Chain A
Amino acid sequence: MTEETYIQNTLLTVGGGKGGTGKSFLAAGLAIELGARSRNAVAVGAVLGGPNLPTLLGVRENGRDLGDFFRNRAPRLEDVLTETSYPGLKLIKGSENALFLANLHQAKKLKLIRQIKSLPARNVIIDLGTGSAFNTLDLFVIGQPGIVVVTPDPTSVENTYFFLKSCAVRILKLYIRYYKIPGLEEKIAGELEDGVSTLRTFLTVLASNDGATGRILQAALNSFRPCLVVNKARGDKDHLLGRSIVDVVRRYFLIELELLGTLPYDERVLWSLKKHIPFTREYPESEISLRIRDMAEKLAKSQPGDAGVGEAQRPV
């Protein structure tokens, strides 16, 4: 079966550890903006629960979803597309089974990834929801870029670091397996996953003992370029937080994180959610809506490989 190659302009994945940070809100906002520009965007809700994508985009609960795709009731991803109340934007709903993503088998996950990449859409936006399960990470890193959302509180920051570190370790492991470097996997499990040393320390020590391996792993990390959005920011301190996080992640996790933007806290977001009316539609001239528009433009303009917006190239 031949698949038409359709050049996607952007493939965004929105993720990051904690719940309630506004991932779905951001994913919906970006999807709406990109849909308005290109008239051909697809939002994918990988997970249900909370103020989720269908609600945010004005879609009814019944209808086909990813579960149907995986149970082979629908052969192609396009068959489960649903209209939204936004012109130019379609939706693929996540399954009712909240754990479906975590339990996905390797083969089905690869099938999903393949079909996502060949969706006939200019922009694809995937809302990955909470958690750092392996499958979530694997979906996150196909993003060009992947976007993590953080709120200015210690738990959220901690979760974000854990998420990014997990992504990096996952990528390193893939490279180690591909290059068949012996003994390194156990070393990583021992030193990194237990949180004993930072990635920087780990790689500096490794590089001094074995330069070639160090270079391979460094190259692996260079290809991972996620973006950061700080949500619900109040006051100057919170607005600086994004830059601080970017610095820490670059220095100690050796990940090229780019600050995409900061969204201020706005009570009205909650009101809109309760009324089931998308915020960006109700308050299109609010600071939040304007900034989301800026972000969408920035993402749509840059091509893969540009500084700051790039795909993780890795042997899958």
Chain B
Amino acid sequence: MVKKIEDLDFYELLNLGLDATPGEIEGAYLLAVATYHQEAMASRGVLSLEERGVILRRIEEAFETLADPDKRKTYDELILPQRPESQQRAYFRKSTEKLEIEDATEVQKFWARVSSSMLPVGLRRGRGRHRQHKNGKGWLNLQKDRHYYGEYLKSVREQRGLTLEEISQRAKISLALLAALEEEDEESLPQGKDRVRMLQAYARALGLNSANGGK
């Protein structure tokens, strides 16, 4: 479907392949600016002021991220799972005990863990859908096997040099609840959808785009 300009990833925005060289990135950036800047003939009369602002901002963001090798690496990890090229078919699983996805990136694993422990069987995406567990013994076993997501969120937060206060402000979640999330304090946390929503807000505040899991 038609994506909003803001939702195009940086490579799509600049018409680049994932393996673009620095030279290609710079060329694409210059062409994009030449196409969309205020006086450009190619876009005169086509975009509203707002639309032009949106795309120019996005172009700057794109160049800033892709031109810096470290930022680019982080960014690649985020968007790669969403790309059609990286959608792999699930391995046939003999055992349906664990829900760990061995080859997924950190972000994918994170959401898989969250969804596996949060949502009822039917809503779970991808692997594990064939499970026949309902609430009950199997569910409990599941809880035992799952890996903690609080730890992961905390590590990403620290990596980015953000404090709980900052996240609390950005995600609009109380400090206490945030701390509980990181510690995975089951008693203090809401269940089901509310918790997922909180996790989504936290992740977004961290700059982790919600990948294919979650909702």
Contact surface of A with B, Cβ cutoff 8 Å? 152-154, 157-158, 161, 198, 200-201, 203-204, 207, 211, 214-215, 218, 237, 240-241, 243-245, 247-248, 251-252, 254
Cβ–Cβ < 8 Å partners of A215 in chain B? 1
Tell me the nearest residue of chain B to A156, going by C-beta.
B41
Interface class of chain A by DSSP: helix
The 27 sampled A-B contact pairs (Cβ below 8 Å) are A152-B41, A161-B46, A198-B47, A198-B51, A203-B2, A204-B2, A207-B1, A207-B2, A211-B1, A218-B2, A237-B34, A240-B31, A240-B34, A243-B31, A244-B31, A244-B40, A244-B43, A245-B42, A247-B32, A247-B35, A248-B35, A248-B42, A251-B5, A251-B55, A252-B47, A252-B51, A254-B2
Flag if A154 contacts B32 (CB, 8 Å): no
Contact surface of B with A, Cβ cutoff 8 Å? 1-5, 15, 31-32, 34-36, 40-47, 51, 55
Tell me the nearest residue of chain B to A215, going by C-beta.
B1
Q: Known contacts A243-B31, A244-B35; is A154 also within 8 Å of B44 by CB?
A: yes
**CB of B195 to closest CB in A, whole Å:** 27
Residue among A245, A248, A251 with most chain B CB within 10 A? A251
Flag if B2 contacts A200 (CB, 8 Å): yes
Interface class of chain B by DSSP: loop
What is the CA–CA distance of A201 and B34 in the complex, to the nearest angstrom? 22
Cβ–Cβ < 8 Å partners of B3 in chain A? 204
Which 10 pairs of residues, A with B, have the shortest CB-CB distance? A244-B42, A244-B35, A204-B2, A203-B2, A245-B42, A248-B43, A248-B42, A207-B1, A247-B35, A154-B41
**CB of B9 to closest CB in A, whole Å:** 14
Cβ–Cβ < 8 Å partners of B2 in chain A? 200, 203-204, 207, 214, 218, 254
**CB of B75 to closest CB in A, whole Å:** 21
What is the CA–CA distance of A277 and B137 in the complex, to the nearest angstrom? 90
What is the CA–CA distance of A97 and B62 in the complex, to the nearest angstrom? 54
Cβ–Cβ < 8 Å partners of B15 in chain A? 247
**CB of B46 to closest CB in A, whole Å:** 6
Cβ–Cβ < 8 Å partners of A244 in chain B? 31, 34-35, 40-43
Flag if B1 contacts A214 (CB, 8 Å): yes
**CB of A200 to closest CB in B, whole Å:** 6
Task: Name the one of A152, A237, A240, A252 contacting B46, with C-beta atoms under 8 angstroms.
Answer: A252
Cβ–Cβ < 8 Å partners of B34 in chain A? 237, 240, 244
